[in-house]
Amino acid sequence: MSDPYLLSSGACLRNKLKLDDAAKLKVLEAKVVSIRDVELARTTIPGEYNSQHLQAFHRHLFRDVYDWAGDFRTVDISKGNVRFAHWNYLNDSVSAVLGQLKDDYWLANLRRDYFIKRLAFYYGELNVCHPFREGNGRTQRAFLRQLSASAGWRLDWTELPPEGNIRASEHYVHTGRSELLVEILDAVVVKI
């Protein structure tokens, strides 16, 4: 199956910036999205922390770059030795994961250690789903930053070590165990 998100050359994602060079797109996309992320850090996107709310975060971050911003992907994707959730099950998978937030009281009033464990679960599960064709990590970090703030915690994502994040995320995808995510998220979580 061909990837409808790629330009006909197959070398670059289809984009609103009219770029056909993947390296140039990556640089410009990062600049544009970082501005949108600063906006998100200073405001609140209203919603119920469900699939539609997650999609609103992606739409806000990537709307200047991709016409499919905010839409769940319609192709299967992988990165390195990790295959993410099948695209046909994304709505159900993301809804099932985020549906658990109600039982977790949207992470409010939790001791720090338990908060980090539950945050690691949601971080890991959203990563397993990888519901968007591009921008999953940035979207889930913005989404979880707002959720955590409403629960009384600040997330300082600058404390997330890139290599440790990749290792812990891959470990979670392959094992379903969150101890490595808990370890790296410990430095990220700060009480407001």
Q: What is the pTM of this model?
A: 0.96
In the chain the domains, ranked by start, together with CATH numbers, are 22-191 (1.10.3290.10)
Each residue of 29-54: pLDDT tens digit? 999 999 999 999 999 999 999 999 99
Distances (CA, A) of 70 to 63, 94, 101: 8, 14, 21
- Could you tell me which of 183, 156, 180 has the C-alpha nearest to residue 169? 180
User: CA dist 98 to 17, 47, 82, Å?
Assistant: 32, 12, 22
42 exposure class (CB count in 10 Å sphere: 0-12, 13-18, 19+): exposed
- pLDDT tens for 124-175 read 999 999 999 999 999 999 999 999 999 999 999 999 999 999 999 999 999 9
Please report the beta strands in 3-162, taking only residues with DSSP state E, as ranges in sequence order.
78-79, 82-83, 153-155
